[in-house]
Amino acid sequence: MVSPDILLIKPGSQRQIYGELSGFRLTAIEPPLWAAIIAGQLRSLGYGIEVLDAEVDNLSYEQVAQQAVDLGARLTVIMVSGSNPSASTMNMTGAGAIVNHIRELNQSMKTAFAGLHPSALPLETMTEESADYVIQGEGFYTFPLLIEAMRAGSDVAGIPGLWYRREGKIHPAAIPQLLRDLDSIPRPAWDMFPIQKYRAHNWHCFGRIEERQPYAVLYTSLGCPFKCTFCCINSLFGKRMIRYRGSQAVINEIDFLVREYGVRNIKLIDEMFAINEKRVASICDPLIERGYDLNIWAYARVNTVTPIMLEKMKRAGINWLAYGIESGSKRVLDAVSKGYSADRVMTVIEQTKANDIAICANYIFGLPEDDYDSMNETLALMTQVNAEWSNIYCAMAYPGSQLYTMAKDKGWPLPEDWQAYSQYARNTLPLPTKYLTSGQVLAFRDYAFDVYYKSPRYLNMIRQRYGEATMNHLIMMGSKSLIRDNSEI
C-alpha cells in the first residue's frame, strides 16, 4: 500500500471533555468539519489523503497512534478544531497524547497541530508539545505548500502559516492571507467519514429523541464581525471579519447531504447565521421550495434577527435558534462589549416563540463584573425566558479571546491543563470575577443548572411541547451530577 501524503486526525476526548455525562448519550458527536474541508481541498489537488475520527470510532489515544504509524503518512495532522469557541482548547489533551504516543512508536514521523487553539497559541503549542509543526490559520495555502516541500525534500522555511522547529529553535510564521473565494474550495470529503454514525445534540431532536442520526454540519460563512471579549473564534482568521459562501453553493451542499446520506438533522456552524435578512432569505427560499423535512439549528443574535428572517427560517426547517443572551445584567453585558440591552431580549424571544422556533439560550456566569446580585439577575432572566434548552456556562478565558489576554496581563488564575477548560470536566477552572472566586462562580453555575432543569414550569413546558418521553429524558439528565474539584476554592 502506498503511504498517503497526509493523515488528518480528529482526537477523541468525550470522557475528558464531558466527564460523567459522556456515558449517557446526552452529548453530540459532531462530524469534524475542518478535517473534511481540508481533505476535500487536498484530494482535489491530487494528494493522497486518509482521515481518522477517533471520537466516532471510540479509539484510545494509543490505538490512534498505532493506526497513524501503520499508515505511515508523510505528515500526520491532529485537527484541534471544535465547532465553537469553547470546543477546541480542551481537545489539546488528547491531541498532545496522540503525538506523544506516535513519538514512542516512531521518532521519525512528521506530525503537526492545526485548528483554533494552535492558531491562538502557536508559540506555546510548539514549546509545550512535541509536534514538528503548527499550521496557523485556515491552512488552505499552508497545507499544499508543506506537502510539496516534504515530497521534494526541500526547506519548509518561508511557508506562510507554518511554525516549525530546527536544531532546537522555534521558527514563527505569520497567518497567511485569507482565502477570498470560499466557493473555490470543493465540497467537504464527507464520503471519507461515517456520516450515519454522527449524532445530534439531545435537545436538537426533542420530540424525536431517538432520531439523532445521521447528523451533518456545514458553514455558510466564516468568521464573526462582532467583538465579544469572551470569544476566540477569529483567532483562526487573524482578524475580526466575516466572509460568505455563495448561497447556491450552500444549497448544493444541503442537497447532497439530504439525497446522498438521508440527512435531516443539520447544524449551521456559522458563528452568526441570522445577521443579514437578504442573505438569510437567499438560503431559506430555495429550501422552502424543496420542501425537505429538515431539522436545522443555527446561531442568531437578538439585535440582528428580524420578523421576516424568523418566518423564512421556520419554513425552511430551521427549528432551533441559539441566542447568546449571556447575562441579565446591563452592567455585566456592557463590560464585555456584547452590544445590546437585556430589554431587547424578551422582545426577540417572544417573536421567536411566535414563529414556533425553539430556543437554545446561552448564558455565562462569572463574567468580570459579575457578583451574586448580577448572577441572580441572569438566573431570573433564564427562568423568564424559559427556553427549550439553555447552555449554562462559566466564564472561561479561552486562548485567543480578549479575556485570555486580560487574565494573563492581570495574573488571574488560569487552568493548569487544557482539559480544565472544559465546562463539564471534573477539574474545570473558570475565571474569578472582581467580586467572586472561581469556586463561587462554579458552584453558582451548577446551582443554576439544577434550578433551571428541575423546574416544574420548565418540565411542564417540555412535556406539553414534546411529550412525556422527552420530559423523562430531561429528568434522567438532571439526575446525573457533575463531580467538581474546584467548587469550594
For the chain, what is the HEC assignment? CCCCCEEEEECCCHHHHHHHHHHHCCCCECCCHHHHHHHHHHHHCCCCEEEEECCCCCCCHHHHHHHHHHHCCCEEEEECCCCCCCCCHHHHHHHHHHHHHHHHHCCCCEEEEECHHHHHCHHHHHHHCCCCEEECCCCCCHHHHHHHHHHHCCCCCCCCCEEEEECCEEECCCCCCCCCCHHHCCCCCHHHCCHHHCECCCHHHCCCCCCCCCEEEECCEEEECCCCCCCCHHHHCCCCEEEECCHHHHHHHHHHHHHHHCCCEEEECCCCCECCHHHHHHHHHHHHHHCCCCEEEEEECCCCCCHHHHHHHHHHCEEEEEEEEECCCHHHHHHCCCCCCHHHHHHHHHHHHHCCCEEEEEEEECCCCCCHHHHHHHHHHHHHHCCCEEEEEECCCCCCCHHHHHHHHHCCCCCCCHHHHCCCCCCCCCCCCCCCCHHHHHHHHHHHHHHHHCCHHHHHHHHHHHCHHHHHHHHHHHCCCCCCCCCCC
User: Cα–Cα distances in Å, from 300 out to 117, 268, 274, 315, 348?
Assistant: 24, 11, 5, 16, 10
Q: What grid cell was written down for 111?
A: 506530525
Q: Residue 273 and residue 338: Cα distance in Å, rounded?
A: 17
Question: Are residues 274 and 214 in contact, defined by beta-carbon separation less than 8 angstroms?
Answer: no
For 169-183, what is the HEC assignment? EEECCCCCCCCCCHH
* Spatial CA neighbour of 403 closest among 419, 414, 417: 414
Q: Is 400 left (phi over 0), alpha (psi -120 to 50) or beta?
A: left
Q: Is the peptide bond before 286 cis (omega within 30 degrees of 0)?
A: no
Spell out, as residue ranges, where the chain has pLDDT lower than 50. Answer: 16-19, 22, 24
Rounded to 10°, the helix 372-385/342-354 angle is 20
pTM as predicted: 0.92
Q: What grid cell was written down for 220?
A: 455558510
| Predicted pLDDT at 42 | 98
Question: Are residues 280 and 274 in contact, defined by beta-carbon separation less than 8 angstroms?
Answer: yes
Domain 6-171 sits in CATH 3.40.50.280: yes
Q: Residue 461 and residue 36: Cα distance in Å, rounded?
A: 38
Q: What grid cell was written down for 268?
A: 449551521
Q: Which fold has domain 200-478?
A: pyruvate-formate lyase- activating enzyme (3.80.30)
pLDDT digits (tens, 9 = 90+) for 337-371: 666 666 789 999 999 999 999 999 999 999 999 99
Question: Are residues 428 and 422 in contact, defined by beta-carbon separation less than 8 angstroms?
Answer: yes
**In the chain, where the domains are located:** 6-171, 200-478
Torsion of CA 58, 61, 65, 67, to 10 degrees: -10
Rounded to 10°, the helix 438-453/468-478 angle is 150
| Predicted pLDDT at 236 | 72
Instruction: Count CB atoms within 10 A of the CB of residue 211.
Output: 12
* Spatial CA neighbour of 54 closest among 194, 216, 233, 212: 194
Burial of 335 (0-12, 13-18, 19+ CB in 10 A): middle
| Predicted pLDDT at 412 | 86
| Predicted pLDDT at 24 | 47
| Predicted pLDDT at 307 | 95
How many whole angstroms from its chain centre is CA 278? 26
Percent of the chain scoring above 70 in pLDDT: 93
Length of the chain: 489
